Structure 1
Amino acid sequence: MTTIYDIAKKTGYSITTVSKVLNNYENVSEKAKQKVLAVVEEVGYTPNSSARTLATNKSWMIGVVFAEHLDVGVAHPFFSEVIESFKKHMELYNYDLLFVPRNMGLKEDTYKHLKRRGVDGVVVIQSLGEETLDFAEFNMPTVFIDMPEKGANAVVSDNKKGSELAVDYLYGLGHRKIAHISGAQTMFTAVERTNGFQMAIKKYGLNIPSSYIVDGGYYSYEGGREAMLRLLSLPEQPTAVFVSGDEMAVGAMKVIKEEGLRVPEDISIIGFDDIPLAKHIDPPLTTIKQDKELIGRQSAVLLLDEINGVLKNRNGKVIPVQLIKRHSCRRVKE
């Protein structure tokens, strides 16, 4: 069985240095971290959990509070990639994840449950937009993903910028009748994306009727279908639609085709998220890409820093987004 002494011998570093790397201490060089972690991965080193707990006064468990409106759980096309990235990074430091029951949500009883289980920290992954408790009173390191909380670490995408990139692209293609299928306005991401859309429309001085902004609900395929039907029923149809989520965009594209119209020849569509399905549909979806791997990894880094008492502030992180051009948008003919 591989021990910490074997890791030290193989890397050439002292047992103290190896221990500091495994416990995520700050005063270790990046070179040492990379070398030690590479050897840990190579030999499949797994420290004895009971011994680690006694030696470090940590449980080496992270509580995961995860909830989303579509009720698909970890199969969710966006959150699944974020959770996987978070999990991979935490595993580098030998942390296990403890998922709380889905029906618990972010409640006082949830934190009490996690404290009883002795977790070292909590990651909250949800976009419900519901009022939450004052988690600070529980004195537990916590990081929120996709939904900022006052006084807490949070990692979110630059949603407003993503909307601006979408409108910039459509405007550059000559579109002036640009509609928006938004997410439910109880959700932080949906509000931010709608605000970004409206700011970009204002930037270009476009006169967009209020009927061009349609609530598609909780980023579902069905919500996209219903919202697109409403847009198609308007006396003057848009030439382009910016959709707040890729699942909704797929639903919108399906409706357009069912109504005898074509994407992008009749209506251009641009989504948000860049879920795996986006590049495989016909036509492949132009979208705003969220860096799901970086969101998960940065969330893990912030939580580890808070657990180890090296966090400098609680401003959180805003992750850049990127326009991915495919074939669902086209230039408007003069």
Structure 2
Amino acid sequence: MVTIYDIAEKTGFSPTTVSKVFNGYADVSQKTRRKILDTAEQLGYLPNAHARSLTTKRSWTIGVLFVEPSGAGILHPYFAGVIEGFKRVATSKGYDLMFISKDIGGKKSGYLEHCKIRGVDGVVVILPDYRDPYYAELLESSIPCVLLDQESVSKSTIYSDNVEGSKRAVEYLYALGHRRIAHIGGGQSFAGEKRMQGYLQAMKELGVPANPEYIIQGSYDYTVESGKHAMEELLRCKQVPTAVFAAGDNLAVGAMMAIREHGLSVPGDISIVGFDDIEMAKFLTPALTTVRQNTYLLGSRAADMLIYSIEEGASSQSDMISVELVVRDSCRPI
């Protein structure tokens, strides 16, 4: 069985320093902490969670709140990338993850009550639903939280540069000669509103009037079905758009389905740009041009922010991750 003495011998640090790292003391440099944790992982060291809890007054558990209404659950492509990045950082620093629900022990309760019963040290909220009163209750509490794809004055937040990504998508279509550029929005979600903002800003800056007929809201859960319905509505326009920027790749997939069912082609008749760069985007026919957000980096940065808040008692922070346009085959010049 690996002990802290084995780690001390391997790293060259004293057993006291190694112990401080696993007990969460702040007087150890990040470089030293990282070397000790990496070595512990290599050697397969498992710290005694109960002993650490008694010493640090922490449970070493982080709650994961993920309410995803489309039905995809943990198979949702956004969740998969985010949670992998989050988990890698959190576990390397000695934390376990636990999913948080409203109900516990067969009784109706809220997220906050669940967090208190389980004694979590902090919560990461992925795709938060601001309409949920139980979610608002959690935000008003003193439990450290980091929110993905949301704004907050009291909790830490992290999100992709949705506005800039949308502008790049529209500017790309404009550079190909498109002027009748439609937008399938992401509904009343934080990301959806920001991506709509980017679309409108780009159209204004390029001097292209934004035709209200060309702006159709998909659902806030970004389903393929809502993308298909939105595209069918666009196909009924007197002048059908030559290009569509969809606020999510699933919306773009639905739009491509509707276009094909109407006997048209992508990009022959209509060019399509999505947002997210989900795994299947490059396997579609044609492969989807899209705005890539770095979900792994979102997750790992979120973990760093939350653990810093837990261990240092830091106030709320905010971070925005840059995006990039990935050009594939779903657009053509006109």
Same fold (TM over 0.5): yes
Which range is displaced more, 279-288 or 22-31?
22-31
2:7 aligned partner, one-letter code: I
C-alpha distance 82-23 of structure 1, shift in aligned 2 (>3 A): farther
- After superposition, the C-alpha distances for 1:13-48 in whole angstroms (9 at most, x for unaligned) are 122332344455554334323322221121111111
- Conserved in 1, the CA contact under 8 Å of 2:102 and 2:111? no
Provide the rounded CA distance (Å) in 2 between the counterparts of 1:16 and 1:197: 56
Q: Does 1:125 align with 2:129?
A: no
- Conserved in 2, the CA contact under 8 Å of 1:264 and 1:330? yes
- After superposition, the C-alpha distances for 1:62-88 in whole angstroms (9 at most, x for unaligned) are 111111220321111111211121111
Report % sequence identity: 46
**Structure 2 residue aligned with 1:190:** 192
Task: Report SS of the residue matched to 2:228.
Answer: helix
C-alpha distance 285-127 of structure 1, shift in aligned 2 (>3 A): farther
Provide the rounded CA distance (Å) in 2 between the counterparts of 1:140 and 1:128: 18
Provide the rounded CA distance (Å) in 1 between the counterparts of 2:308 and 2:244: 41
Provide the rounded CA distance (Å) in 2 between the counterparts of 1:43 and 1:116: 33
2:114 aligned partner, one-letter code: H
- Conserved in 2, the CA contact under 8 Å of 1:24 and 1:304? no
Q: Does 1:273 align with 2:297?
A: no
Please identify runs of 4+ aligned residues in structure 1 that moved more than 4 A: 23-27
**Structure 1 residue aligned with 2:331:** 329
The alignment covers a number of residue pairs equal to 328
- After superposition, the C-alpha distances for 1:123-177 in whole angstroms (9 at most, x for unaligned) are 1112434254254553111111111222210111111111111111111111111
Q: Normalised by the size of structure 1, how large is the TM-score?
A: 0.93
1:215 aligned partner, one-letter code: Q
Q: Does 1:211 align with 2:216?
A: no
Provide the rounded CA distance (Å) in 1 between the counterparts of 2:247 and 2:139: 32
Which range is displaced more, 59-68 or 125-134?
125-134
Structure 2 alignment gaps of length 5 or more: none
Task: Report SS of the residue matched to 1:78.
Answer: helix
Q: Does 1:255 align with 2:258?
A: yes
**Structure 2 residue aligned with 1:36:** 36
1:1-334 map, 5 Å = 1-23=1-23, 25-101=25-101, 109-130=110-131, 132-135=135-138, 137-184=140-187, 186-217=188-219, 218-309=221-312, 311=314, 313-332=315-334
Structure 1 alignment gaps of length 5 or more: none
Provide the rounded CA distance (Å) in 1 between the counterparts of 2:15 and 2:9: 8
Give 1:289 deviation, angstroms. 0.6
1:83 aligned partner, one-letter code: I
- Conserved in 2, the CA contact under 8 Å of 1:129 and 1:188? no
Q: Normalised by the size of structure 2, how large is the TM-score?
A: 0.93
Provide the rounded CA distance (Å) in 2 between the counterparts of 1:59 and 1:221: 40
